[in-house]
Amino acid sequence: MSETTSSSLPAIDMLGVVLDEHLRWIGQWHRAAFYRDGRGGERASAPASFAAWCGAASRDDLVHQPAVQKLASLHEQMHRQARLVLLKASGGDTPTEAEYEAVIARFEEFTLHLRRLERAFGAAASGLDPLTGLRTRRGMLEALEREHNRYSRTGQTFCLALADIDKFKVINDTYGHDIGDRVLAATAAVISRGVRSFDEAFRMGGEEFLVCLKETDMAEGFAVIERLRVDLMESPVPLPDGRLVPVTASFGLVEVRTGLSIDELIVCADRALYQAKHSGRNRVVRHGVDRPAPLPPDSAGVKPSRPRA
């Protein structure tokens, strides 16, 4: 594939081109370093393909992603070390084993990270969150609108539940973001196990999830979400040293009603979640059913901000 053709592709599709050209390049580099006095190992094709990919990543507004920046750093380090070896070879000196291994280690790290990035971008393009395996906001409203249209046609009710992991910032600050990611994945697993195969679950972003319970009224929906809440509370996340991280979540539940759009239903679920957070967390609040706890006397007339932890 020519550079002109490849540079017009989306960034996700160009990663395969970058990988293929670097696999060819490493063979050329081997021959140049050990058999050709450093000549022919730094062909422009491999660096040019990566530069074209960076341009596409910039167009797709991906260039500031940490994973993209790491790949660019690995690429620069790999080619810098490779050029130093070729420069030494061109002067008649055989590269040392340590110099050779340094280039190969960077090459392996670069290709491994590139493949991971390719999988992550592929998952994102498909509407799946690579960390949790749940669907993302991409396509969520479309899926919910289909269920809302079915309700309008048939009268078959459904419920939406908005969930937010309690004190997630504290988990990240205490144990680190790697453990935070484990908590997100574990929470998604509990949600996936706890709903029926035809229900739908989404990662809204951050530590927030949305569940669509089909053919379900408020009473049935409360039973399902309460069971999810208990399952999550009883499923602490293990640390490498054997300790357990307790995890709970707060839930806001709403049942579809005539005259409310999907956006309005989500707002209602968010209000119930707000109430659950201010009522002590680790609970399910049903919109329009559960009365809010009274505010302290000194806060009358003041609406506190919803805690996101």
Residues in the chain, overall count = 309
Active site (annotated) includes residue 207: yes
DSSP code per residue over 229-266: HHHHHT-PEEPTTS-EE---EEEEEEE--TT--HHHHH
* Dihedral angle computed from the Cα positions of residues 266, 236, 180 and 160, in that order, rounded to the nearest 10 degrees: -10
Catalytic residue of the set 21, 147, 207, 255: 207
For residue 297, with 0-12 CB atoms within 10 Å meaning exposed, 13-18 middle and 19 or more buried, which class applies? exposed
Which residue do the tokens 């491994």 mark?
Answer: 112
CB atoms within 10 A of CB 288: 12
* Cα distance between residue 187 and residue 171, in whole Å: 13
- The DSSP code for 306 is P
Q: What residues are labeled active site?
A: 207
